[in-house]
Each structure stands twice: as structure tokens, then as C-alpha cells.
Structure 1
Amino acid sequence: MTETATYPEVPHHPPPPPTTEDLDWADLPIIDISKANTAGGRAELANEVRDAMRTFGFMYVVNHGWTQAQNARIFDIADVPFSQVSEEEKRQFSNEIKNTGSWRGYKPRQFWTVDNGVPDQIEQYQFFEQKHHPQALQPFLPEIYAFAQHNHFKVLHPILRLLALGMELPEDTFVEIHDGDATGPSFVRFIKYYPRSEEDEAKTKNVWLKGHTDFGTITILWSQPISALQIMTPDGQWRWVRHIDNALVINIGDAMEMLSGGFYKATIHRVVQPPPDQRAHARRGAFYFASANDDVRLVPFLDSPVLQREGVRRRIEDGDAPTMAEWRAALVRTYGVAELRRRDDVVEEQVVGGIVVRHYN
């Protein structure tokens, strides 16, 4: 007799239907990651992924080995830290972000400033830098660990191998600097976006999170139906990212751009108010933010024959380049709280550790 695993109960949140609004969608490539299980499949995919990450810095991944039922359950679990934990307990699992340079545990609402003095309405909970978690999350920790492991080994590792092949490097080049411990430098993050007043929407021109690039190597976003994510496409236009059931939205971050000598592109993206037919629904997010190991210095892999042919684009001289831990902590300490210098009507800048960081509004 086959035993069936019994999981703790969690309130189910049926996903809302996708928007019917006529939006300007980004035409992102769709990658069947199951092909990466063989050497021949990786050779086939390497050029597709290389071109996607050079052109857009974004792509979809499908056939990643996680079922639609597992997907739905992780989104139900993702609501637990927000709806089933008291405000008092949330404060116990928050930390001094400006001092620690970490988003472990809770990042409360109204911590960042979006624009014109308007605070954000984004609450998030991040695993696994900390050993202890709110009581309501305790029953679900084994599943969240399994979610982290699946993202790391079944999604991240194949993508890293394909990115290395795209640079004509040994395929494990990037895998070797991304340790697989679920409590290591990569993070599971659950996010909940709360509605804002019409006054705040007007002051921020409906922007919930300014245009930015992620600080890590690879971001894995589990697609969900409420449209709010936009990317800046190569022609300089903001376009919406379409929902695909049980697909992943993958993007390059700053650290991979630096490690690849600018060969791969950390793409600008933002979060805006959903279209009118979806504004009554809560928007939840489930993410895996991958970073290189903390001691990895963010300098280009100059052994790449591609870089030797095409040249290197550095954001900072190699001798001044930060480690992954230094870069992450510096960005976290200053994001959304530092004063920005306006460059023009769209771009604002700050300098972090000698590197220019741009925000787009």
C-alpha cells in the first residue's frame, strides 16, 4: 500500500481570473527547462537562453517539475505570514534593516518611500537567514524548505549551466559559486501587496515599486494572475508581463551582470497598480532570490572566450568590486530610504559602494 503524505491545513485562496484588459504585453521567450536534463538538451537551450538574457534579461520557464497543485498550495502558504500572524508577533520577527543590511523576517509596510513622500504598502517575509519563525508558519516549514530546494536545484542550477554555456565557460562555472544549502545566501520571499488610496496612486502615477534591477544573480518569480509587473523592453518602453499558469518568470540581477562582464543584462522592472478588473484582489508573490556565495567577489569571468572576443563592460574596477555579501548588504540598507539624485525626468541615481545605482520612474 502506498502511503499518502498528510499536510497541515491552510486556507485556500482561489486565484482570480487573468485580466481581460487590452495591455501592451512584453513578448518574452518561453524556455522548456526539462530539456536541460541532458547534455544535448542543454546545448540546444544554451543559445536560446543566452539570447533571451542578452536581449530582455527576462524569460519564462515551463516544465520545471512542480505541479499546478503544488503551485497553488505554495501560494496559499505564502499568505500565512500576513493573514495569520498578529502585528505584535510580526514585530518580534522584524529586524533593524538599516543596521543589518538584511531583509530576513518581516519587511513591514510603509518602510520604503515610493515617490512624493508616499510610503509603500508592500509587506514581505523572507526565509532562511533566521532559525526561528512565527508560530503559524511552523507547520509549513518542511514544505517551504522543499520549495527552496526545488528552486535551487531544479530551476536555478539548470539556468546557471545554460548561462555558463552561453559564455563558452565550463557548464558548472556558476553552479560552483551558488551553494545549495537552503539556509545559505539565496532566499525564499513571500510578498503581499495591499491596495492604496486614490490620492497615493495619483502622487506616484500608479507606481507601487520604482523601476529597478535586482541585486542578486537570478530571480525566480512564480507567475500569478494579477498583472502588475512591467519590464523596460529594449526599445525603452514599459510593457506588462503576462501570466502563464504554472510558469516561472526569470530575470538576471546586478551580480550576474557583473560576473558576466556585462554580457548578460540586469533588466529594469517595476510594479504598478493592477488593471481595473483586478484591483479588488490581493496580490501575493512567491519568489526565490538567488545570490552567489557571500565571499564571491563580483568580478568578470575573464576566461570566457566570449568576453575575450567581445570585450568587458564593468560597473566598477575589479580591484574595487564588492563581494556578494557586501553588495547585498549595501543595497538593502539604502533601498527605498536613501536620498536620490534626479538625473532627468525619468532616472534617479544613488552611489552604493562606488557603483552607480539607477531608479526609474
Structure 2
Amino acid sequence: MTLEVLPSVPHYIPAPPTNEKLPWADLGVVDLSKAATAEGRAELAATARDALHNIGFFYVINHGLSQEKRDRIFDIADIPFSQVSDPEKREYEGKIIETGSYQGYKPRRFWHINGGVQDEVEAYSINRDVSKKQHPDALRPYLPEIDEFSRHNHSVLHTILTLLAIGLELPEDAFMKQHGSNVIGESDVRFMKYYPRTAVEEEKAQQVWLKGHTDIGSITILWSQPVSALQILSPDGQWRWIRHIDNALVVNAGDCMEFLSGGFYKATIHRVFQPPVDQRDCTRLGAFYFAFPDENVKLLAASESPVLERVGIQRRFEDENAPTVETYRKARTATYGKTALKQNEGDNTEEEVVSGVLVKHYN
């Protein structure tokens, strides 16, 4: 028997979890070990349905990736930032505004946050088909593992989509068909690294690292990490923190899922805030899977859903004006953090119109 010898990788040491008592969000937990049976899927579907309808986030546990592999993925996730020179990063920088795609590097200080302050987030995005583009030299030995990680996320995605379809009393494969396994589209693995800011910039930006927003795609899978910074806007209007659970996933819906579900599954408003005092000087490394339906899917509500027939469809545009995934994705990606927003009087929201859709941002 031949044991697989993996390339060595520098170990990224994250900060320990915070000891501060924060107002944590109370999220449901979906245990995927129960998804093998119809009875188990029905139970999980109810949890996922209620979570995305009422709160917008839930945890996933027992998803099939070991703690050891999860930890190694985070070691690999740091390579694009710590093991690649700045000149090589520029060589692989994504043409975000021109293409409406995040593939490649997103450099630091690219988005405007608030008060003239730019972001301190560096990101590297890899298409679900890892061979679609070239990658920096330091990352190439790990592409087989990234490919395996991408496939694992897509498998988890299909299970989640199955549960959400059941929740709307649709055929189990209703949403899966719109995320075809043989159509690559724009779904991607994304590694992101947040760097601490100066005290002056924190004050100007009111401690906001990414202002409140909704994701563009259908489902976002965030691999839980210990630096507390992610907050969700709760139904009572309060911002609450997402607690770290080791080797758990944090799942939320984006705009595309809100449109496809007729507003039943809400695109979750969330932001990234300055970490608590005991983590304030630490970098925050994240691993994500941002899922999109196939590019040619029109963002029409599943009007055949018995649930939507009972509760009604909440529309943000008329059916005849529904954009395709590609049109909406490109427009929102190209404008995010780069366009002047209209400030609404009387609240802390700003807005813009993207492909005929009103999009709000929350300070």
C-alpha cells in the first residue's frame, strides 16, 4: 500500500477564540449525517427553511471533511498571501471592474468602506474548475487539494439545495438543476485575509471592515474560523456576532436564492466588524465557497411552489424584467465598493440600482 505524500505547507496559526462576552446570534444547526434518509432530509429541511426564512444563517456540522483536512486547507489558504510576492500578485490580479468577476486577486484598499477609508482585505478566488486559469507558482503544488476541497463544497451545496427545495415543497432536485454539476459557471473557492487597521482609520470607518450587504450568489459556505468579526442584522434590528464552531460551516443565502425562492429565503444582511479587544491585532484568514446558479438561469421565482402559492411571492422586479445570473453577477461585482451610493434620509442605509434591481447597503 502506497501512502499519499502531500507537499509540505507552512502552518498558519490563527488567534485563539475570544474570551469576550458578545451578543451572539442564535443559529440553527443542520447535521448532514441525517441527510441520507428521506426522514432525515425532512427534519433538516424544516431547520434550514426556518433559518433562511427568519434569520438568514445556519450552521452545518458532520459535512464529511475531517478536522485534519480542514486545518490543512487553512494552511493552504494563507499561501496566496504570505508566499507570493507583490509583483506576482499583480500579475494574477483579477480584472474585477472590467469583467464583473472576482477570479484571481482582489488587492487590499480596493473597496471604499466609509469616511474615505478603504478596505484591508486581500482575497484570492479560484473557479470551481481550478484548471480554468493559471495560478501563482507557490499555489500550484496544492491545486489537487484545492480541487478536492472545491468538489466537497459543491457536494455540500447540492445537499443544502435539496433541503431548501424540500422546504418549498418542490421536487428535491429543483434548485440543483439550476446549479448543474456539468456547468462550471462562476462558483468559486475564495481565500480571504483581513488585516488590522490603524486606530485613525477605525475611527473614521466606525469600526466597520465591510459594510452591511447581501451576497450576490445563491448560497455562501463559510468555513468557521476563530477570529470574531462577522455580524448579522437580526430581525429585531440588532447586529449580532457569529460564534465560532470548529470544523463547522456557516451558511447563508444570497440575492440569487432570494430571487429564485420568491423572497421566501432572505438574502442575509451581514457585515464584518473590528474584532474584540483580545483579537484586535490578529489577521483573520477565511476559506469560503461562493455558489452561483448556472450563468444562463433567469432569476425567476419558483411560482410552482405550494409554499409560495400560500404565502405569496415577494418581488423586487417583474418577471419580464428578470435578469440572468450572468447579467446580475457581473453588474453587482463590478459596482460593489466602487460606485457612489445614494444615502437614505432617516436611516443608515445606502442604495444603488443594479440591472434594474434596488440593492441596499447598511452602515
Q: Same fold (TM over 0.5)?
A: yes
Q: Which structure 2 residue ranges, 5 or more long, are not aligned?
A: none
Q: Which residue of 2 aligns with 1:356?
A: 358
Distance across 2 between alignment mates of 1:117 and 1:348: 15
2:263, 2:313 within 8 Å by CA — same for their partners in 1? yes
| 3-state SS in 2 of match to 1:140 | helix
| 1:169-224 residue CA offsets vs partner (Å, 9 max, x unmatched) | 00000011112259532110000001111000000110000000001000000000
Q: Which residue of 2 aligns with 1:346?
A: 348
Q: Which residue of 2 aligns with 1:87?
A: 86
Q: Which residue of 2 aligns with 1:329?
A: 330
Distance across 2 between alignment mates of 1:97 and 1:219: 19
Q: Which residue of 2 aligns with 1:227?
A: 228
| 1:279-306 residue CA offsets vs partner (Å, 9 max, x unmatched) | 2221100000000000000010111011
Identity %: 58
Amino acid at match of 2:102: W
Q: Which residue of 2 aligns with 1:40?
A: 39
1:149, 1:180 within 8 Å by CA — same for their partners in 2? no
2:316, 2:357 within 8 Å by CA — same for their partners in 1? yes
| 1:14-64 residue CA offsets vs partner (Å, 9 max, x unmatched) | 332110011000001111011112222111211111111111110000000
1:113, 1:337 within 8 Å by CA — same for their partners in 2? yes
Amino acid at match of 2:230: L
Matches within 5 A, 1:262-277: 262-277=263-278
Q: Which residue of 2 aligns with 1:126?
A: 125
Amino acid at match of 1:95: G
Amino acid at match of 2:186: P
Distance across 2 between alignment mates of 1:102 and 1:132: 15
Distance across 1 between alignment mates of 2:172 and 2:184: 24
Distance across 2 between alignment mates of 1:3 and 1:293: 39
Query: Is 1:99 the equivalent of 2:98?
Result: yes
Normalising to structure 1: TM-score of the pair?
Answer: 0.97
Q: Which residue of 1 aligns with 2:147?
A: 145
Distance across 1 between alignment mates of 2:118 and 2:12: 27
How far did residue 96 of structure 1 move? 2.3
Matches within 5 A, 1:28-67: 28-67=27-66
Aligned residues: 359
Distance across 2 between alignment mates of 1:266 and 1:159: 15
Distance across 1 between alignment mates of 2:87 and 2:307: 53
Q: Greater CA deviation, 13-22 or 307-316? A: 13-22
Distance across 2 between alignment mates of 1:48 and 1:221: 18
1:149, 1:182 within 8 Å by CA — same for their partners in 2? no
Q: Which residue of 1 aligns with 2:190?
A: 189
Q: Which residue of 2 aligns with 1:163?
A: 164
Q: Which structure 1 residue ranges, 5 or more long, are not aligned?
A: none
1:123, 1:191 within 8 Å by CA — same for their partners in 2? yes
Matches within 5 A, 1:2-21: 2-21=1-20
Normalising to structure 2: TM-score of the pair?
Answer: 0.97
1:215, 1:255 within 8 Å by CA — same for their partners in 2? yes
| 3-state SS in 2 of match to 1:114 | strand
| 3-state SS in 2 of match to 1:81 | helix
Amino acid at match of 2:41: R
Q: Which residue of 2 aligns with 1:114?
A: 113
How far did residue 357 of structure 1 move? 0.5
Amino acid at match of 1:210: K
| 3-state SS in 2 of match to 1:231 | strand
Q: Greater CA deviation, 126-135 or 157-166? A: 126-135
| 3-state SS in 2 of match to 1:37 | coil
2:195, 2:282 within 8 Å by CA — same for their partners in 1? no
Q: CA RMSD in A?
A: 1.1
Distance across 1 between alignment mates of 2:147 and 2:341: 37
Q: Which residue of 2 aligns with 1:282?
A: 283
Matches within 5 A, 1:241-260: 241-260=242-261
Amino acid at match of 2:265: Y
1:145, 1:182 within 8 Å by CA — same for their partners in 2? no
Q: Greater CA deviation, 255-264 or 42-51? A: 42-51
Structure 1 runs of 4+ with >3 Å offset: 181-184
Structure 1 133/182 Cα, relative in aligned 2: closer, same or farther at 3 Å? Answer: farther
How far did residue 360 of structure 1 move? 0.4
2:218, 2:253 within 8 Å by CA — same for their partners in 1? yes
2:14, 2:284 within 8 Å by CA — same for their partners in 1? no
